[in-house]
Amino acid sequence: MSSPQMILVAGPYRSGTGDDPQKLEANVRAMNETALTLFRAGHLPVTGEALALPLLETAGSTRPGDPLFEEIFHPIAEQLLSRCDAVLRIGGPSEGADRMVAQARAQGKNVYTALTDVPPAR
């Protein structure tokens, strides 16, 4: 067992979706399901989407990639990463998730590439 960690779940959001709302939702669901597993293992899981998407709606963003999206989406994840102990990279190709992994490594944080790699905290 290890100490509880605050772990950023990083996976594809827009990649490969063509910005189809159902595919975007499926990507968020996959991150949330992974986050739930981490929580049940005793960790504090977070996603950039959980913080960014409500702010985007409030700011009036009308579609992924619009100017408000560019202002908020990735910067929120980068700020969140600075507070996390680790990153868990899930899913397929994603430039944004890969950037979170690279930044985590540069900051000396743990990077996990599978749920089974994360030591339980309970």
Please tell me the predicted confidence (pLDDT) of residue 12: 97
Instruction: Name 34's Cβ contacts closer than 8 Å, sequence gap at least 6.
Output: 9, 11, 45, 88, 90, 115
Please report whether residue 74 resides in a domain. yes
Using CA atoms, how far apart are residues 83 and 86, in angstroms rounded to an integer? 9
pLDDT tens digit string along 57-104? 999 999 999 999 999 999 999 999 999 999 999 999 999 999 999 999
Phi and psi at residue 101, to the nearest 5°: -65, -45
Using CA atoms, how far apart are residues 97 and 60, in angstroms rounded to an integer? 24
Please report whether residue 109 resides in a domain. yes
Number of domains comprising the chain: 1
Please report whether residue 122 resides in a domain. no
Please report whether residue 20 resides in a domain. yes
Please report whether residue 38 resides in a domain. yes
Structural domain range at position 45: 6-117
Reported in sequence order, the residue ranges of the chain that DSSP labels E, i.e. its strands, are 6-10, 44-46, 86-89, 110-112
Using CA atoms, how far apart are residues 94 and 120, in angstroms rounded to an integer? 26
**pTM of the shown model:** 0.94
CATH number at residue 100: 3.40.50.10400
